[in-house]
Structure 1
Amino acid sequence: MKKDAQKRHQEVIDMIEKLSEATASERASTISRHHSWSSSSSDSISMLPSEPKIFHGRESELSDILHLFNTGIPRIAILGAGGMGKTSLARAVLHHPDIMARYVQNRFFVACNSAMTGIELANLIGSHLGLKPGKNLTQAVLQYFANNPPSLLILDELETLWEPASSRANIEELLSLLTGITMRGAEQPAKVLWTRPFLRTLQPLDQQAARLTFADIADSGHSLEEVDQILCLTDNMPLAISLLAHLADTEGCSSVLSHWENEKTSLISEGFDKRSNLDMSISLSLSSPRIQSIPHSQELVSLLAMLPDGLTDVDLIQSKLPLENILKCKTTLKSTALAYIDEHKRLKVLMPIREYLQQHQPPGDHLVQSLFKYFQEMLAFYAVYMGAQSISSTVPQLKSNHTNIQNVLQWGLKQKQPTLSNSIYCVCYFSQFSTINMQVQTPLMGQIQDLLPQLNDHRLKAYFLIESMRLWRYYPISDAETLASQVVELFKDFDDPDLKCVLSV
């Protein structure tokens, strides 16, 4: 028996050496299952994942969790988008000195992604506890926790089980009797008396924590400017930072930035699991049962991907997007953490998710067209009543959507008539707004010159040329006289006294 135990111990050591740090939670589950299923005894070797070696920016959340443990026996849900560091935070809790002292050997970490039903989850937990295998270990698991000293049980990736409506009730019933959970999303399972105050959904790291994380992986020999450029691509999402930092460590920041322009998120999506493949992590969130059950939520997140400024509830409603129950779609995106509400109460999507969606799931033209009409009406209203008191509420709205408008107008310049002509007018209005209110020149004006030959609308051509001339107040124009001559020539083909007055001014 002693020789058998030594042999099993060596097998476990060999397995540990072969498995990487990147799949720590899978390792815990794999080793426990391997031993439980290959042995007829009730002995268990439930290996815990290691403490995270790189852990920055989650000190506040860790402190909040530890505080909850001081209030009794807590039931805690760590929620957040895929790649936001939920598992790392759970592992930090698992290895905190206070937790180790309190629970000693009674700490269990179960990766739930291999279970499909409540019974399978109970059996998986039972294998970690060292229970004798059986068809349904639910009661045995509950009895184990009732008869043994207090234990810490962490259920990682529980969303795999909880998401499907068919299994949700059974899972929630089991959860009501169990404890700590990490799962992607921002919605807690019902039927569980969660310890208050609830943990806030994990947000991206602050800039300093993101820099420290990058430096721990890629060393500190990179220029801060290039590091910040790379971090800008990640929106400080921990998984994206980690993957790009590893790439920068071998290729250098300049090379990573250059490759990103062509490859986007696929540059860091060659791994075989969601902890080493950003595209896979995002795809899992997009294919969750909650998203699938509200089809228009997928369309909304695709549209948000081209809108870096995000949208307010006012924008969502007034734009009249052809999506049923749009506020429910918004709630679904928030609950799955595919979108979040920023400090200005705008619904946004993180940069890595935006890049993935633009490449793999761009929004339909019918959606963008609705948003185009919404911005078109605002810009036209501004152009007519520029300087009047009546546009006092329109200016802040245009400012808060500035990058959104630029992206939507960029789309419009690639469309056929009549959208193309409407887009050119809007670009001119947008140019007026940008130079006066934001002291910037939109690059879209430079794209219109090449489109003029395909237009038969002489008034539109004249309007564009006049707007180009008006920019001389803000930016030097070398060929103003040539532009004026072209406009005068165009006036021969149509009569518009108001536009002629603008030229005279």
Structure 2
Amino acid sequence: MLRCSSNLENIQKILEKLAQRTTLKAFWHAEQDGKVLAGFKEKSNGFIASLNLQLGIEIYNQGLAGGESRQNATITYENIKLATPTASRVFTGRDELVIAGVEMLCKRDQAHLAILGAGGMGKTSLALHIMEHVDVRQKFQEKRYFVPCEVLPDAPSLIQGLLQILKLSISEGKDGYEILEAYLQLSQEPILLVLDNFETPWYSSKNQKALQNLIEKIRDQKKVSITITMRGAEGPGDIEWEKLGGKSGLPPLILDAARKTFLSISPNTKKSEELDTLLKELDCMPLAILLMAQLSRRLPLKVLVKN
């Protein structure tokens, strides 16, 4: 990972450590913690714009350092399931986008949705809520598959992952791609593939063209609809993606939704100008709100805002 103070993972670790302190320790370290929070809030103003650039550099470096060994790894069903999150219970401000995504998937024989944008905007949560919507469940039944692409660094790994999640075995004399292609071509029922965090294989693979060919050939299977989440402003390959959230990607929450999210996580916090100020300084970014709301269980809101 990039050793940068604005790196999201480092920020999360720091805030979670602060949140685990007892009330007494939080009070005792309030001044020191305040300095940490001040640094976080100062950097949050440029956080969204810089995160995509950091991600590209990070994934590129990972590909140079350990890409070959990861590409040779065997992907198991357990790998896929342990990397698959559940739909967040705290989910506000995205109802219109959920409805739009559901309508595209359900009112067409085939749809290809792209949920794009910066890290921390809730792309995965939105994809999961669309996937679990009653209408989507009714159309696709049990053929709704979530594929966590952060553990699939290239095209062969993605094929392995798809075979595992579809529970397809490779028979003697066949290869993985042949089995996958035949299954998708012969399917008589609609299939939904949710390819989450697709930026990982897209930017780290040594053979991006192979990945592009794979995703485009999956697109060509008439019974398959694809929902992709990816950092950036453009979806992969020569595919006419239906972008949810606008051309520039998924936007931050509006203030009212951000406030509801914060209060859902930290119910003892009261509505106030201080809270709204904090949310604005966080750019109403869902993941930043989640982390700050968790921290507010240990530190008073006035401490978070003051620093």
Name the residue aligned to 2:95. 59
Superposed CA offset, 1:357-399 (max 9, x none): xxxxxxxxxxxxxxxxxxxxxxxxxxxxxxxxxxxxxxxxxxx
1:140 and 2:187 matched: no
Name the residue aligned to 1:160. 200
The size of the alignment, in residue pairs, is 220
Check the 8 A contact 1:46/1:128 in 2, yes or no. Answer: no
Query: Does the C-alpha gap of structure 1 residues 54 and 45 become closer, same or farther in structure 2, counting only changes over 3 Å?
Result: closer
Which of 142, 157, 160 matches 1:105?
142
Counterpart CA distance in 1 for 2:244 and 2:298 is: 41
TM-score by length of 2: 0.65
Q: Secondary structure at the match of 1:60?
A: helix
Counterpart CA distance in 1 for 2:179 and 2:279 is: 48
Check the 8 A contact 2:150/2:201 in 1, yes or no. Answer: yes
Counterpart CA distance in 2 for 1:96 and 1:87 is: 14
Query: Does the C-alpha gap of structure 1 residues 45 and 202 become closer, same or farther in structure 2, counting only changes over 3 Å?
Result: closer
Q: Secondary structure at the match of 1:180?
A: strand
Check the 8 A contact 1:46/1:129 in 2, yes or no. Answer: no
Name the residue aligned to 2:151. 114
More helix by share: 1
Superposed CA offset, 1:445-479 (max 9, x none): xxxxxxxxxxxxxxxxxxxxxxxxxxxxxxxxxxx
Tell me how far 1:35 sits from its aligned partner. 4.6
Tell me how far 1:227 sits from its aligned partner. 1.1
Query: Does the C-alpha gap of structure 1 residues 217 and 45 become closer, same or farther in structure 2, counting only changes over 3 Å?
Result: closer
Query: Does the C-alpha gap of structure 1 residues 236 and 256 become closer, same or farther in structure 2, counting only changes over 3 Å?
Result: same
Counterpart CA distance in 2 for 1:245 and 1:228 is: 12
Name the residue aligned to 2:163. 126
Name the residue aligned to 1:457. none
Name the residue aligned to 1:203. 251
Q: Secondary structure at the match of 1:251?
A: coil
Counterpart CA distance in 2 for 1:167 and 1:224 is: 52
Unpaired segments ≥5 residues, structure 1: 1-32, 38-43, 262-505
**Percent identity of the aligned residues?**
31
Tell me how far 1:175 sits from its aligned partner. 1.2
Q: Secondary structure at the match of 1:190?
A: coil
Which of 286, 289, 306 matches 1:241?
289
Q: Which has the higher relative contact order, 1 or 2, with Cα contacts under 8 A spaced 6 or more apart?
A: 2
Tell me how far 1:66 sits from its aligned partner. 1.5
Superposed CA offset, 1:281-306 (max 9, x none): xxxxxxxxxxxxxxxxxxxxxxxxxx
Counterpart CA distance in 2 for 1:175 and 1:92 is: 23
Which of 188, 211, 215 matches 2:235?
188
Counterpart CA distance in 2 for 1:60 and 1:113 is: 27
Aligned-CA RMSD value = 2.6
Name the residue aligned to 1:293. none
Check the 8 A contact 2:145/2:165 in 1, yes or no. Answer: yes
Q: Give the letter aligned to residue 182 of structure 1.
A: T
Tell me how far 1:109 sits from its aligned partner. 0.3
Flag the structure with larger Rg. 1
What does residue range 204-219 of structure 1 map to in structure 2 within 5 Å? Answer: 204-219=252-267
Moved more, 60-69 or 205-214: 60-69
Q: Give the letter aligned to residue 53 of structure 1.
A: R
Unpaired segments ≥5 residues, structure 2: 1-74, 220-225
Tell me how far 1:163 sits from its aligned partner. 2.0
Query: Does the C-alpha gap of structure 1 residues 54 and 169 become closer, same or farther in structure 2, counting only changes over 3 Å?
Result: same
Superposed CA offset, 1:179-230 (max 9, x none): 21101111121222434x7652100000100000001001153241221122
Name the residue aligned to 1:93. 130
Name the residue aligned to 2:57. none
Q: Give the letter aligned to residue 95 of structure 1.
A: E
Q: Give the letter aligned to residue 301 of structure 2.
A: C
Counterpart CA distance in 1 for 2:147 and 2:267 is: 33
Query: Does the C-alpha gap of structure 1 residues 166 and 45 become closer, same or farther in structure 2, counting only changes over 3 Å?
Result: closer
Q: Give the letter aligned to residue 211 of structure 1.
A: R
Q: Give the letter aligned to residue 61 of structure 1.
A: L
Tell me how far 1:97 sits from its aligned partner. 0.3
TM-score by length of 1: 0.41
1:82 and 2:119 matched: yes
What does residue range 57-456 of structure 1 map to in structure 2 within 5 Å? Answer: 57-69=93-105, 70-132=107-169, 137-148=176-187, 149-164=189-204, 166-176=206-216, 177-178=218-219, 179-195=226-242, 200=246, 201-258=249-306, 261=307
Check the 8 A contact 2:120/2:286 in 1, yes or no. Answer: yes
Superposed CA offset, 1:238-275 (max 9, x none): 010100011012222123234xx3xxxxxxxxxxxxxx
Tell me how far 1:80 sits from its aligned partner. 0.8
Q: Give the letter aligned to residue 124 of structure 1.
A: G
Check the 8 A contact 1:119/1:136 in 2, yes or no. Answer: no
Q: Give the letter aligned to residue 260 of structure 2.
A: L
Q: Secondary structure at the match of 2:296?
A: helix
Counterpart CA distance in 1 for 2:141 and 2:271 is: 44
Counterpart CA distance in 1 for 2:265 and 2:78 is: 36
